[in-house]
């Protein structure tokens, strides 16, 4: 585990812009806030239509520094990488909208720039890269690229202002374990210290990072002198150059003298990504048809099941009504039968009482008649 962090960043105008008396379009920013250390570098687009690219690169560095330091945990912990990429681009657009309003610009494209950043909190490290330039990792075993330049075959690159920018923003979530330093550079530096054909980061990058072991001021002065003499000063047509460094104090540095200065080029490939896409088209169509068919069949079965259930419910309603009617009739019949049963019982009781009364009256009447007959004899 590192004992501390030293950061720094330097931007120098290239001879190409000096000779044309045009402003530097690169920008870099390094600092610490809210327990987060971050370095951001950006290269403003250089073509004529990108009239205010230098303002875009500055706004990109400052706004992303603010985003990373204030919301590091949320960005790092979010699993939906596409959502994080979109949020970062949205934050840039917010910053650019303010510039457009202030300067009365008509197009977002005028602020086009690339973006590279590295933010560290405790052991966690979040890296982002869109466009050309290079982010390299320095460890005890050497220097390797973390993210490589994004360039088309014609040398063009991608900018944060593009409509598809989130698709090209690469994110790396990792830790600082086995990391001595991280170097971020625009293409003005990258072209001199990185071999794109072999992926080799040259030993000078490790040497430049090591200068920060003496502190930020010494480190920034050392890389400024080196860039001014060997990179910017090395050509009359040199580009603007920016280099940012995060050095983890107390970690083991590589022996730069033992690092390779060259490497075999990557083998060329005849097949392009577009070629791979084409070979899969028919299989994708078949797979889509199968998936859609099965999904449609399942959906149809679900609909039919709902229909059958509904029909069953509808058919059950008359039966229920009939059952209720029959139940009602049964209750009425039962009541009537009970009534019929009770009426004979009542009549029987009345007849019995009446007969008994008549019988009683008849006996007395007979006795009276007999007595009268006897008297008249």
Q: Where residue 358 falls among pLDDT bands split at 50, 70, 90? A: very low
Question: Which of 331 and 224 is assigned the larger pLDDT?
Answer: 224
pLDDT at 373 over 80: no
Query: pLDDT, tens digit, for every residue of 45-73?
Result: 988 889 899 999 999 999 999 999 999 99
Which helix (H) or strand (E) segment holds residue 162: the answer is none
Q: What is the DSSP string of 76-134?
A: HH-S-HHHHHHHHHHHHHHHHHHHHHHHT-S-GGGG-B-EEEEEEETTEEEEEEESS-E
pTM (2 decimals)? 0.78
Average pLDDT over the chain, rounded to whole? 87
CATH superfamily of 4-277: PPM-type phosphatase domain (3.60.40.10)
**End-to-end Cα spacing for the chain:** 154
Interacting residues of 213 by C-beta distance below 8 A, sequence separation 6+ = 6, 219, 247, 249, 253
Per-residue pLDDT tens digits for 297-344 = 777 777 677 777 776 777 766 655 565 656 565 555 655 555 555 544
Provide the 8-state DSSP code for 268: P
Q: pLDDT of 229-272, one tens digit each? A: 999 999 999 999 999 999 999 999 999 999 999 999 999 888 98
Provide CB contacts within 8 A for 11, sequence distance 6+: 24, 26, 27, 28, 41, 240, 241, 242
């Amino acid at each position: 585990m590192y004992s501390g962090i030293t950061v720094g960043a330097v931007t120098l105008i290239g001879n190409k812009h000096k000779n044309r008396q045009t402003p530097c379009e690169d920008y870099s920013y390094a600092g610490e806030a809210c327990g987060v250390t971050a370095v951001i570098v950006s290269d403003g687009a250089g073509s004529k239509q990108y009239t205010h690219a230098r303002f875009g690169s500055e706004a990109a560095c400052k706004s992303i520094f603010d985003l990373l330091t204030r919301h590091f945990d949320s960005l790092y912990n979010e699993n939906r990488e596409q959502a994080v990429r979109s949020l970062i681009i949205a934050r840039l657009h917010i910053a650019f909208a303010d510039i457009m309003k202030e300067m009365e610009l008509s197009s977002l494209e005028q602020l086009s720039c690339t973006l590279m950043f590295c933010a560290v909190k405790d052991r966690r490290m979040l890296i982002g890269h869109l466009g050309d330039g290079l982010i390299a990792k320095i460890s005890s075993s050497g220097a390797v690229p973390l993210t490589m330049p994004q360039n088309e075959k014609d040398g063009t690159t991608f900018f944060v202002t593009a409509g598809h920018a989130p698709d090209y923003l690469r994110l790396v979530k990792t830790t600082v374990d086995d990391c001595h330093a991280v170097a971020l550079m625009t293409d003005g530096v990258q072209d001199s210290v990185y071999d794109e054909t072999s992926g080799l980061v040259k030993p000078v990058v490790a040497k430049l990072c090591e200068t920060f072991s003496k502190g930020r001021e010494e480190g920034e002065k050392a890389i400024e002198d080196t860039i001014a003499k060997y990179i910017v000063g090395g050509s009359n047509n040199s580009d603007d150059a920016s280099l940012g460094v995060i050095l983890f104090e107390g970690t083991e540095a590589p022996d730069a003298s033992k690092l390779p200065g060259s490497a075999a080029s990557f083998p060329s490939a005849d097949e392009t990504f577009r070629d791979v896409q084409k070979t899969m088209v028919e299989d994708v169509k078949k797979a889509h048809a199968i998936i859609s068919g099965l999904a449609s069949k399942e959906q149809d079965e679900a609909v039919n099941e709902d229909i059958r259930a509904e029909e069953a419910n509808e058919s059950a309603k008359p039966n229920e009504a009939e059952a209720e009617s029959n139940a009602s009739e049964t209750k009425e019949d039962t009541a009537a039968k009970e009534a019929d049963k009770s009426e004979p019982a009542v009549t029987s009781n009345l007849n019995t009482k009446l007969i008994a009364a008549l019988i009683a009256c008849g006996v007395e009447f007979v006795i009276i008649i007999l007595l009268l007959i006897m008297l008249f004899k």
